[in-house]
Structures are given as structure tokens and as C-alpha cells.
Amino acid sequence: DAGVIQSPRHEVTEMGQEVTLRCKPISGHDYLFWYRQTMMRGLELLIYFNNNVPIDDSGMPEDRFSAKMPNASFSTLKIQPSEPRDSAVYFCASSFRGGDYGYTFGSGTRLTVV
Amino acid sequence: AQTVTQSQPEMSVQEAETVTLSCTYDTSENNYYLFWYKQPPSRQMILVIRQEAYKQQNATENRFSVNFQKAAKSFSLKISDSQLGDTAMYFCAYLDSNYQLIWGAGTKLIIKP
């Protein structure tokens, strides 16, 4: 298995633009998580899905952020409009049966909003 | 609410030495899972080791082992024969009953040649 695949690896965009981050989880994993990592706040859980259904989105910072999982093999995190304070590394992770064997992380997307 | 504390922001040791990273946590649950993750400069989050709370035996993965003290709520990571490639941030994490990982702040480990 290729692991969790995220794209793009780096994204630089101008303030106000729409940004879409993509994730392909490991086949057979039924949980998918979106995290944001910054030096100031560390790792923050934004939202997670179980069997493609959003379970908890209380970590989504505000309405500018949205996430979808249209099928078991694809998820997106969208920021519209983007702001400089959204600059961070965004990770997608997937797990089987809730994560008692751990999460598998993608390599992350470094987002820079200028 | 569960919390995870890593009290060592940064550590450095010489190559081939043994190093122990500390982690304590707070929970009222009896059955749970604990993890150590490694994040090298490449930023990939890599699972190092996993411990099931109901198992007395400490988990071991090659040069990595844990000292799990359930009563003390302590979960330290020992790295034996440290290598340059072990240089990374190390995060301790607790899996709560909602299947969410509660993370420590991390320990930056530097292995010196």
C-alpha cells in the first residue's frame, strides 16, 4: 500500500484565494482525520470522518473551512477565502477501527498564504 | 478531560548512547492506548511504538522500548544505541474513547555525531 497520499505537498497562495487540499486514505481504513500543525498551537484536530460521514468538526476554525469525503478513497479540505493566519502544515491521517493500532499520516501539505 | 504532558522540550545525546523521553498523562479510563510518534525534519509523522493499557508487558520495537507505569500514568520512551536518523520531534499521544488522539507538546531530540 502506498500509504496516505496528500496533495499538493506545498501550496503558496494569495490572501482571499480558495485553497483545496486533497487526501487519499489507506484502502480499508474507516476513519479519516484532518489536522493542522503550527509552531504556536502544535497539532490541532480539525475534523474527522467515520465511513465517509463527518463525526466531529468542532475543531474547524471558522466557516471559511470545509471538508468533504464523497467516497472511501478521497477527502478534501477547502479554505475559502484564505488568510495569512491559515499558513500551516495540514495533515491527513487514516486509521482502521478508530485508531487503536495508531493513525497513518500523509506527508502533509505546507500551506503559505501571502 | 485527558491530558498528555511531555516535560522535556529538547534533549541531545551522543550517537550510540541511550536516551529516555518522558511522558505523563491524565485519564480516568481503565482501557486505552498510548503511542509514540516521530516527526523528522521531513515532517512525516511516523508511528514508533504502541502500548495497550491492559497489557502489563512493555512494548518493544527493535531499539525502541517503553516503560509503561499505569498506576503512575507514565509512558516513557527509551531509544537504545541512538543513531543520527533518530533526530526528530517525538510526540506522546493518548487515544481517547472518541478515537481521538490527545497529543503532548513534543520533545525535540538531537543526536550528535
Q: Could you report the per-residue pLDDT of A20-63, keeping only the tens digit for each?
A: 999 999 999 999 999 999 999 999 999 999 999 999 999 998 89
Q: Which of A50, A105, A110, A111 to mutate to test the interface with B (most CBs of B within 10 A)?
A: A105
The answer to whether residues A34 and A111 touch, using CB atoms and an 8 Å cutoff, is no
**Residue B96: pLDDT above 90?**
no
- CB distance A98–B44 less than 8 Å? no
Query: Residue A90: what are its φ and ψ, rounded to 5°?
Result: -105, 125
pLDDT in tens, B48-63: 999 999 988 999 999 9
Give CA separation, A103 vs A35, A82, B12, in Å: 12, 28, 27
The percent of residues above 70 in pLDDT, for chain B, comes to: 100
Mean pLDDT of chain B: 95
Chain B positions with Cβ closer than 8 Å to A: 33, 35, 42-47, 50, 52, 91, 95, 98-101, 103, 105-106
- What's the helix, strand, coil split of chain B in %, to 5? 5, 50, 45
**Residue A65: pLDDT above 70?**
yes
Q: How confident is the model at residue A1 (pLDDT cuts 50, 70, 90)?
A: low
Q: Which residue has the cell 471538508?
A: A67
- CB distance B44–A105 less than 8 Å? yes
Arithmetic mean of pLDDT, B19-27: 97
Write the residue in A43, A48, A95 that is nearest to B103 by C-beta.
Answer: A43
CB pairs under 8 A between A and B: 43
In this structure, the number of other CB atoms found within 10 A of the CB of residue A84 comes to: 10
Arithmetic mean of pLDDT, B64-91: 97
**Residue B23: pLDDT above 90?**
yes
A97-101, A103-107, B17-21, B55-59: least confident range: A97-101
Helix or strand run (H / E) with residue B53? none
- CB distance B101–A103 less than 8 Å? yes
Our CA angle for B34, B35, B40, nearest 5°, is 160
Predicted confidence at residue A8, as pLDDT, reads: 97
Task: Kindly report the nearest CA distance between residue A51 and chain B, in angstroms.
Answer: 14
**Residue B93: pLDDT above 80?**
yes
